[in-house]
Amino acid sequence: METPKVERNPKIVYVTTKTGEKYAMPSHASQQCYDDAVGFPFDQDDVIIASYPKSGTTWTLNIVRLICGMEIKPGSIIESEFPFLESSTRKRLDEHKSTHKPAFYHTHIPCDHFELNEKTKYIWVLRNPKDVCVSFYHHTKLFSNLYEYDHGTFDHYFKLFASGKTDYDSYFGHVKKWSEHANDKNVLLLLYEDMKVDTRSAIKQIANFLGKTYAARVSNPVTMETIFEKCSFREMSQTMDQFVSVQSQSTVIKDGKCPVIRRGVVGDWRSLMTREQAEIIDRMTTE
């Protein structure tokens, strides 16, 4: 009789929060980088793009950098203008802060881990948890050098996601904490599905939130159309070198698929998720 295969969980690491709890993060993270991130002194008008993984983070970063007219130098990636807080050293964050006014950052760490600053601006991106689950599964499989989950099945991953046992812990816990600040004056809540339906309106919304200079820039029809074209998934998929480091490209981009820029389709959860699994997520969302 064949022995049933026991699936191995994705490789993750745990850091200790300021309250003494364990918090799950991807394997490239460290306690030192986590401590540096949550304790970093952000300045007035700094901007943090926050989200649970696979909620439209890279897309939003690209929209913001186009609104601001940032150029990605050859051989550099978008993270050079938007340091990823949980994998950046304090030295890197200090250098970025000293050369960028305002400074932009991004993170997947929930807001309750930080001391929120009323003068710092936060863009929070929220996406349907069913699509997040499916996209996070593909991300975890394709980033095999980080997660070592090449042969993991969706059924196994779904159980981890629903129970909050992936890196960055529970999607629902993340949303619950950020929801408490959704109406704060310095927080802009973006719904991924709305951004897909009317991207131009989302561009205007982000520009208005960032300030008058940016709002005036996107009011130019030519500038707006340029931003709209360059932030499309079609365009982004043709310029993957801006979003995935050169060192990682040969490892993570396989058969034209990239864990950072994959499909971005609303409703893609139907490609893998059963009706019963969808009902579980729906119940958890309602609760």
Q: What is the CATH number of the domain that holds 120?
A: 3.40.50.300
pLDDT > 90? residue 49: yes
- Could you report the per-residue pLDDT of 122-178, keeping only the tens digit for each? 999 999 999 999 999 999 998 888 899 989 999 999 999 999 999 999 999 999 999
Domain contains 28: yes
Give the domain range for residue 194. 12-286
Longest dimension (CA), the chain: 70
Mean of pLDDT values over 248-257: 47
Please name the residue that has the structure tokens 């300021």.
Answer: 18
Quick one: which of 230, 263, 258 has its CA closest to 244?
258
Residue of 108, 113, 139, 156 marked catalytic: 108
- Please count the other Cβ atoms lying within 10 Å of the Cβ belonging to residue 226: 13
Domain contains 175: yes
Q: Please, are residues 228 and 163 in contact by the beta-carbon 8 Å criterion? A: no
Q: How many angstroms separate the CA atoms of 93 and 110, rounded?
A: 19
108 is catalytic: yes
For 30-57, the DSSP string reads -HHHHHHHHT--PPTT-EEEEESTTSSH
The model's pTM is: 0.89
Number of domains in the chain: 1
Q: Please, are residues 45 and 102 in contact by the beta-carbon 8 Å criterion? A: yes
Q: How many angstroms separate the CA atoms of 172 and 162, rounded?
A: 9
- Could you report the per-residue pLDDT of 100-114, keeping only the tens digit for each? 989 999 999 999 999
Domain contains 2: no
Predicted confidence band of residue 247 (pLDDT cuts 50, 70, 90): very low
Domain contains 3: no
Domain contains 6: no
Q: At what angle do helices 129-142 and 154-162 cross, to 10 degrees?
A: 120
